[in-house]
Structure 1
Amino acid sequence: MEERLMSAPVLFEELAAGNGKLGRITLSVAATLNSLTLEMVDLLQEKLDAWATDDSISAVFIEGAGEKAFCAGGDVQALHQSAVEKPGGPCDYAEAFFAREYRMNYTLHTYAKPIVCWGHGIVMGGGLGVMAGCSHRVVTERTRIAMPEVTIALFPDVGGSWFLNHAPGKTGEFLALTGASINAADAIYIGIADRFIASDHKQAVIDELLAQQWSGEPERNHALVRHVLRPFAEQSISASPAGQVEPHAATIAQLLDGEDIHDIIDRITGQDTDDPWLAKARESLGHGSKLAAQWIHRQLWETRHMGLADIFRAEIQLVTNIVRHPEFTEGVRALLIDKDRNPQWQYSASRDVPQDVLDSFFTAPWAENPLADLG
């Protein structure tokens, strides 16, 4: 039994905490930077559902094993294999993965009990979906976040259509189009994290959570979590890195002030800058899929006023169409499988994409949305 638990991809503990319990979740596949598989998604969903109705569980703490990453995303190689095996779809594994992952993300966003996410190290893709959905999101001096989906012909999903549309100004769309890397200060600025706490306080944070006298009322327990985290954040101010997004916000607004998506792409890829962060963003979009850039832009526009459940329904529609299309498999091949970094995109320029091709990604590929019952 002990050996099975130690080899499980997600570890669960129920720790005595005052007059209640703290549920502790550890994404435990450090060798793959804790990247999510369908098995891990299902384990998370099952435990979150069980703890939601367990009166002894007062709060939840979620972390990643090792020092390198909280979670570097989904198991893209497995998704690629699923897409390659059945071109045009249905891609059974990939489509099941995304539907169940988004359902788990929605559960996190709407969870009544406090969930503390320790977002240390690399946080990308599916990991960002987990962190963004938690109610108390902690980032550290080693947090590194990116949404580089344009480089593999995907889009910032797992609720990205929600949190990027809620970022200040045009910063969310800029990050979505360019995959620009951001740190802890940036995460707090754009609204996907709540507090910066230096990583060496982690055990002390857990100890304080375990020492609380928890209430039977979730609202009171959220207040207790804030009470615990606040002093550690105040002690960590001097260790916080300088942000990149806020200082560049005015420039980002100018770059995104285009007539249409084609003009925006031209502005970003054509900028004459020696600023390293902007230059890297320029190159990322320049080498990314122009078809993907178009569906990223359109997805953010079409979901800008949607509620959370509708956003996940829109995301599952788009991602299902994407995994059935060869642009995605080519992007993953070039970046993550063969690693030649030379994707043969179907269109060399965004203006070459026929309107009906773009429209097809926003057309339901099935009779009923698999997340129809969400919310």
Structure 2
Amino acid sequence: MSDEPIVFAELPAKSGKLGRVTLDVPGTLNSLTLEMVDLLQNQLDRWANDDAVAAVFIEGSGDRAFCAGGDVQALYRSAIATPGGPCEYAEAFFAREYRMNYTLHTYPKPIICWGNGIVMGGGLGVMAGCSHRVVTESTRIAMPEVTIALFPDVGGSWFLNHMPGRAGEFLALTGASINAADALYTGLADRFIASEHKGAVLKSLQKQQWLADDSQANHGVVRHVLRPFAEQSLSSLPGGQVEPHIGRINSLCDGDSVHEIIDNILAQHTADPWLAKARDSLAHGSKLAALWIHRQLRETCHSSLREVFQAEIELATNVVRHPEFAEGVRALLIDKDRKPAWQFQRSRDVPDNLLDSFFTPPWPTNPLADL
């Protein structure tokens, strides 16, 4: 472990260089801080303008996690310092994190993400934005924001809406955990490669003849490198949960209203452990959050990527200024009593005007208006 939270390196190749990014805070499962967001943004900008660097490889240090999310405790401290807002640190974090996510999604050069271990929240935002997303046998993905009264942000409004059937809606409302097979099925990953091949993948990337002025050809080079490792790894791909359950998921999310969808999920009598855990997660989560999660997905369903991040910063700013978020983090991560005092026990108890307020701009100009 280095003194820096992110380690950057430039690895020589047959021609050109490979930029290497290592999130290096294993003690917090490589969770992102504002400092890390800024470091990553600045390095990505530099490499984008450096013809010698042809591609980027992003990984997390340690075997447990690529990145377990953002530093939620820092967001909590910001929220309780100024109830009702502005919450300066939290709002700066969201705005700069989403800008960095947008940079990843629109980056001209290939970015390979090695999504090994836990990939949650902000970590999934990083992985989802990369052009070549690799998952392994130990990958565990979740967006469990309903349990802390947040919402699947960092581009979740984009990638959840692009999943098959109603899978994105179900995962957002329940925070259900998924694995590598699920990531491939839902479009969150491009390749499954057994973790034992990581060193060989890096060596192969360094043996390539990269072209300084042809990023499209370099994307082809990455596919050429990753493909044989993926073919060798097929036998160790775990069984998924989303595809086998997609019919049930579509049925549960086929309600006349969001309240009916929530009722459908909560009313399940199932012996299936994955569905039961998803049900219980929604049952213990914030019903107010479930409503803004559902509405956010519906309102951004046909939005561009740029519009998605502009909508997310609006909702995130309003959410962090509201006490429901601080209470959710307190119960799960601060006091750890797991007994949040949610404002509403049932989704139908939430007044329409309160829900509307989370979708009302809290400032005259959107901080991401210039994306």
- For normalisation by structure 1, the TM-score amounts to 0.98
Of the three residues 4, 9, 14, the one matched with 1:13 is 9
**Correspondences of 1:150-229 after superposition (within 5 Å):** 150-216=146-212, 217-229=214-226
Query: Who is 1:91 aligned against?
Result: 87
In structure 1, distance between residues paired with 2:168 and 2:70: 21
Query: Who is 1:280 aligned against?
Result: 277
Tell me whether 1:328 sits opposite 2:322 in the alignment. Answer: no
**Correspondences of 1:1-375 after superposition (within 5 Å):** 6-216=2-212, 217-374=214-371
In structure 1, distance between residues paired with 2:32 and 2:125: 11
AA partner of residue 134 (structure 1): C
In structure 1, distance between residues paired with 2:183 and 2:11: 29
Please give the per-residue CA displacement for 1:297-354, whole angstroms capped at 9, x wherever unaligned. 0000000000000000000000000000000000000000000000000000000000
* Deviant stretches of 4+, over 2 Å: none
CA apart distance, 1:6: 2.3
What SS does the aligned partner of 1:22 have?
Answer: strand
**Structure 1 gap segments, 5+ residues each:** none
What SS does the aligned partner of 1:334 have?
Answer: helix
Please give the per-residue CA displacement for 1:14-37, whole angstroms capped at 9, x wherever unaligned. 010111000000000000000000
AA partner of residue 295 (structure 1): W
CA apart distance, 1:215: 1.1
In structure 1, distance between residues paired with 2:169 and 2:99: 24
CA apart distance, 1:155: 0.3
In structure 2, distance between residues paired with 1:113 and 1:17: 15
In structure 1, distance between residues paired with 2:250 and 2:304: 25
What SS does the aligned partner of 1:95 have?
Answer: helix
In structure 2, distance between residues paired with 1:358 and 1:168: 27
In structure 1, distance between residues paired with 2:156 and 2:13: 33
AA partner of residue 6 (structure 1): S
In structure 2, distance between residues paired with 1:365 and 1:152: 21
**Structure 2 gap segments, 5+ residues each:** none
In structure 2, distance between residues paired with 1:371 and 1:121: 31
What SS does the aligned partner of 2:281 have?
Answer: helix
In structure 2, distance between residues paired with 1:264 and 1:330: 25
RMSD: 0.6
In structure 2, distance between residues paired with 1:6 and 1:340: 34
AA partner of residue 358 (structure 2): F
**Aligned length in residues:** 370
AA partner of residue 273 (structure 1): T
In structure 1, distance between residues paired with 2:13 and 2:290: 47
